[in-house]
Amino acid sequence: MKSGKLLTSFVWLYLIFLYLPVILLPLFAFNTGKIIAFPLKGFGFQWFYELAKIEALHTAVFTSLKIAIITSILATTLGMFASRAATRFSFPGKGPIMGLIMVPLVLPEIIVAVSLIVVLIKVLGLGLSIWTIILGHVLICVPFSIAILNGAFRSLDKSLEEASIDLGETKWSTFRLITLPLVMPGIISSLLISFVISLDEFIIAFFLTGSEPTLSVYIWGMLRFPARIPAVMALGTIMLVVSLLLLTASEYFRRRGLKRTGVQDTGGFV
Amino acid sequence: MKKIMNSEGANGLLLVSPTLLYAFLLLAVPIAAVVTFSFWTQNYLDLDTTFTLDNYRAATEEPIYRILLFRSLNISAIVTFVTVILAFPIAYYISFFVPQNKKARWIFLITVPFWTSYLLRIFLWKVILGYNGVLNSGLKGLGLIEQPLTFILYNMNAVVITLAHAWAPFAILPIYVVLEKIDRSLLVASYDLGESRIITFLRVTLPLAFPGIVAAAVIVFIPTIGDYVTPKLVGGPSGLMISNMIQLQFLKANNAPLGATLAILAMISVVLTLAILWLFGKFFGWINRNYLGILR
């Protein structure tokens, strides 16, 4: 069929467009040349070795890891409350309430950053620290967490919990013994996605960073120095591999969760 | 019965309350504070808390702010259009041409590039589009051009290309979701009744996919207006957008009230644009129903 062929070739062109930056990243990271341009000079690991020498970078990595871990735990906890409420109960004002919680999904990050700066710094007079960044990151991660957990909670068969209550378990022990294990894959998936989002987030960190820059703020600084760029490419390559491993893990857990509850896979979140 | 309803409502509210409280304290309250700020003024290091419209006057009268605001709206609109137009065939392909058991893998394939560091992705577009960049050296190597193309970096085009790349999955996914929901028997019925593939697409598939297209457009349009990194890295002076000015006012010029005003004006103009488009859509729907009947 002719129109089908046309569509297929468009899809391939589009995939090239999508993957162009991703392919270039490792190409320049393993290139021994000092400038980011073709033709490539040769293959080598020198930029990765150079990364090991930059002290300030290691500090930034640890700052970012701290922020990302705390953010993912807080966001997933808050996401669980909201997702459980939204999938199991109908309550007054549900639409507007869930709307407010999900708004950061479409709100420009600069608005979140600016509003947090106004309240935390100008009004409350707090100093900038990693906690100001965490507060912002949790806000933008919660909607993603809810989107993932909604899938997990919705596919949960209500009768399993009812059976447990009928058999004499309390509400809490039912949650611990029945609900939690069944949605656990969703929870892990949400933790991983929040972690990746927080690790990569720039605008909020840029506005709210204090004396300890996060990894993305540090990269932003490095981008201004041409001599640093090849090392940045090496760093980006490592981050890409780590993100992909985490996402594959997240996808694995999400699917295992669906299998456990016996629902057909519909494509999922990522 | 009423009691049960009450207790269910109470349970739900209790359960959602921690998250709601968080969103209220760190989103609703801060945004209200930004609105309040926009009516105040900054006097060097002191904040003057008398109510005034000075910031709004400055923001609407001084050409630089007006230009940046309109340019941002313009860029966002073009990005939205380009992204959605390019995304639709991809979503359509995955939904209608890819076998059921491979769909999840395709969706994964589409989202993978977006887990590359956001900053580096944009920086790499600078590398691709630059004067001695990947695209120009590639085209030169192929003998397609003599001189490097210069209209693709440090201007609006570069911003549009980069943002269309950055927001691709956010447009593909909502469209894919609605396409998946379309009852395939409707299409078979249309073919059986003698309609061609094109007419079936225009009169069955497209109208049913419309909510997804609208969702995709909204999801892309609103956040792109606030993008900071892309205009800064690939936009050049003629591609700067309103968030670059907001950042300047907050972090460099120490004029938070004016920055707050610009942020609010940006959001208001986004909402207004969407409202106008929505009304236009309603109006077109009405005309169509009463006089044209193409999509009926």
pLDDT tens track for B138-173: 888 888 888 888 888 888 899 999 999 999 999 999
For A190-211, write each residue's pLDDT tens digit.
998 899 899 989 999 999 887 8
Band of pLDDT at residue A268, cut at 50, 70 and 90: very low
For B218-250, write each residue's pLDDT tens digit.
989 998 998 999 999 998 888 889 999 999 988
Residue B239: CB atoms within 10 Å: 23
Confidence (pLDDT) at B168: 93
Nearest CB among B113, B219, B225 relative to A22 is that of: B113
Q: Which residues of chain B from 271 to 290 reach within 8 Å of chain A, CB to CB?
A: none
B182 in A contact zone (CB under 8 Å): no
- Enumerate the H helices of chain A as residue ranges: 2-29, 46-53, 55-88, 94-102, 109-116, 130-154, 158-166, 171-174, 180-200, 203-208, 215-222, 229-261
Nearest CB among B108, B121, B226 relative to A111 is that of: B226
A143 in B contact zone (CB under 8 Å): no
Task: For residue B140, give Cα distances in angstroms to A35, A41, A181, B132, B144.
Answer: 19, 19, 58, 10, 6
B10 in A contact zone (CB under 8 Å): yes
Nearest CB among A11, A82, A219 relative to B16 is that of: A82
Domain A44-261 annotated CATH 3.60.21.10: no
B18 vs A78: CB contact, 8 Å cut-off? Answer: yes
Nearest CB among B15, B16, B108 relative to A270 is that of: B108
Task: For residue A114, give Cα distances in angstroms to A105, A107, A125, A174.
Answer: 16, 12, 15, 43
Q: Hey, is A43 helix, strand or coil? A: strand
B166 in A contact zone (CB under 8 Å): no
Using a CB-CB distance cutoff of 8 angstroms, which residues of chain A are in contact with residue B18?
Answer: 78, 81
How many beta-carbon pairs under 8 angstroms link A with B?
A: 240
pTM across the whole model:
0.87
A90 vs B117: CB contact, 8 Å cut-off? Answer: no
Q: Does A267 have pLDDT greater than 60?
A: no
From A175's Cα to the closest Cα of chain B, the distance in A is: 13
Q: For all residues of chain A together, what is the average pLDDT?
A: 87
CB A41 within 8 A of CB A31: yes
